[in-house]
Amino acid sequence: MELETRVDGLMDGLRADLERLAAIPSIAFPGFPPEPVQQAHDLVAELLRDAGVPHVERLDLPDTAPVVYGQIPAPTPDAPTVLLYGHYDVQPPGDQALWLSPPFEPTPVEGGLRARGIADDKSNVIAHLGMLRVYEGRPPVGVKIVIEGQEEYGSAFDTYPPTDPERFACDAMVIADLGNLRPGTPTLTTGLRGAAEVTVEVRTLDEPRHSGEFGGAAPDALLALLKALATLHDVHGDVAVEGLRRDPWTGTTYTEEEFRSLAGVREGLPLIGSGSLGERLWSGPAITVIGLDAPAVEHAASAVVPYARAKLNLRFHPLQDPREAQRKLVDHLRALRPFGIPLTVTPGDTGPGYEAATGGPAYRAALTALKEAWGEEASYVATGGSIPLVNGLAKAAPGAEVLLFGAQDSMCNLHAPNERVLFSELRNTVIAMSAFVREYAEDFAGSDARGRQGAGE
Ligand SMILES: [Zn+2]
C-alpha cells in the first residue's frame, strides 16, 4: 500500500518526463537527422543523474547511437546487482496521414498518451526512472542501467555485451522492451522465437515467351515457384517442413477473439494451422512468404514468366539452433523438383531464439512483484518476434536470470500508426519494478543465491 501511494505521488512528474522524451523524434534510421537522437540521449542521461544515479556515462560504440550507461553500487556486499535495459530510439512514424495526431506531439487518449515511441520503448525508460525515484536513487540492489539509442535499427547489443562482460555482470536483468499480453494482465515473457531468412529462385527461360505460342510446354518459372511454396504448409496451414521443432505451449495465450482483432482478420475467415494459439505462435514454427518477384499484374504481358523469386521468413522454436532450423527449410526446398525443375535456394540471416530459466530467486521475486502491482498472478507468454539483444546480454552475464516485462501491451500499436501507452500500465510497471528489487534483495540476502549461482546450473 505504501509503495502504491508513493508511486501515485510520482506519476505526474513521470508523465511530464515521458511527454518531454516522446516529443523528441529520436529515430536512429539512416536518412533521419541525428540531432534528436543526441537530444534524447542527453535527456535520458540528465533524468538519471537527477534521479540520483551517481555514475552516468556515455558509451560510444562503433556504428550506433550513443548508449546511456549508469551505475549505482550495491548498498551492501551481499546485495544483488540488477541490470535494467531500455532504449530511447523509436521507429519512424510511417505514413503520417494515418496518425490521428502528430506522432511527436504526445496527445491524450483515453487512459494514456499517443505518440511514436511512447510505448516502445520510452514508457519503459520512464518506468526504470520511476523505480529509481521511488528509492530516491538508493534502491536495495546494485543497479546497472543501459539505455540504448539504436535498438530499432540494428542494435549493437546483439553482439557487443559479450565482448565487455565486466560492464554487464549482474545477478538478474530486467529487459523492459515489451509488456503485457493485454492491459491489466501482468505478463512475464519467457520465450522468444528465433528467425531465419531464405531466398528461393527459379530461372527457366532466357526471356519471357508468348504464352499463346509457348504456354503449355515452356517451363513457367512462376508456376514452379508457387508449386514449391505450396509444399511448405499442409492442408490445415501447419508447417509441413520436417525437423522444425514444435512443442505444446504451457503458458497463457490470447483468446481467439483477441488474436483475430489484433491481427485484423477479416470477418468469417478461418485462422490457419491447428493446435493452441500459443503453439502456433510461440512454441512452433511459422513460415511466411514476405516478398515475391514476379511481373506485377498491372504490367502483365501475355508471356510465360522466365524468372521468379521469393523471400521466406522462418520463425522457429526458442530452443532450436538457428542454423539447424534454417537448414531444414533449405533442404526441403532443395529436394523439391516442381515439374522436374531444380530451385536455387540461398540461406540468409538468422537470429537465435531465447528461452528463460524461470526457477530462480529473481523469478520468484518478479512473480510476487507483478502480483502486487496488478493484483493478479502473472502469466507466462512468449513472443513470436525476436529480440536478439536478449541473447547478447544473456551471453555477457551467463549466470544472470533474465526477466522480460514492462509497460507496453499488445494493443498499443507498436511500430504502427497511433502508438499509445496507458497510464495504468506505466504506474503498475513502476510498482512492479520497485517491488521486484525489494523482494529480490530480501530473498538474496536471506539465501545463498550467490553461492548457488557460482556453482552453476
Ligand atoms: Zn523496442
Q: Is the pLDDT of residue 24 over 70?
A: yes
Query: How far, in Å, from the CA of 234 to the mean position of ligand 1?
Result: 34
In a domain, 265, yes or no: no
Last residue of a domain, one of 336, 351, 366: 351
Per-residue model confidence (pLDDT) at position 158: 85
Q: Is the pLDDT of residue 109 over 90?
A: yes
pLDDT, tens digit, 9 for 90 and up, residues 340-390: 999 999 999 999 999 999 999 999 999 999 999 999 999 999 986 667 789
pLDDT, tens digit, 9 for 90 and up, residues 243-253: 999 999 999 99
Show the domain range for 120.
2-192+354-454
152 as an active site residue: the answer is no
Q: Is the pLDDT of residue 453 over 70?
A: no
CATH number at residue 442: 3.40.630.10
Residue 27 near residue 40, CB atoms below 8 Å: no
43 and 100 both lie in a single domain:
yes
21 and 126 both lie in a single domain:
yes
Q: Which of 154, 241, 196 is nearest to 348 (CA)?
A: 196
CATH number at residue 342: 3.30.70.360
Query: How far, in Å, from the CA of 116 to the mean position of ligand 1?
Result: 11
Mean pLDDT (whole number) for 92-106: 97
404 and 421 both lie in a single domain:
yes
Q: Is the pLDDT of residue 454 over 90?
A: no
pTM reported for the whole predicted model? 0.90
pLDDT, tens digit, 9 for 90 and up, residues 322-341: 999 999 999 999 999 999 99
309 and 227 both lie in a single domain:
yes
Last residue of a domain, one of 292, 327, 351: 351
Question: What is the 3 state secondary structure string of 15-80?
Answer: HHHHHHHHCCCCCCCCCCCCHHHHHHHHHHHHHHHHCCCCEEEEECCCCCCCEEEEEECCCCCCCC
63 as an active site residue: the answer is no
The single residue of 89, 158, 409, 439 carrying the catalytic annotation is 89
237 and 149 both lie in a single domain:
no
Number of domains in the chain: 2
Last residue of a domain, one of 296, 320, 351: 351
Query: How far, in Å, from the CA of 121 to the mean position of ligand 1?
Result: 5
Query: How far, in Å, from the CA of 408 to the mean position of ligand 1?
Result: 9
How far apart CA 139 and CA 112 sit, in angstroms, is 28
29 and 171 both lie in a single domain:
yes
430 and 365 both lie in a single domain:
yes
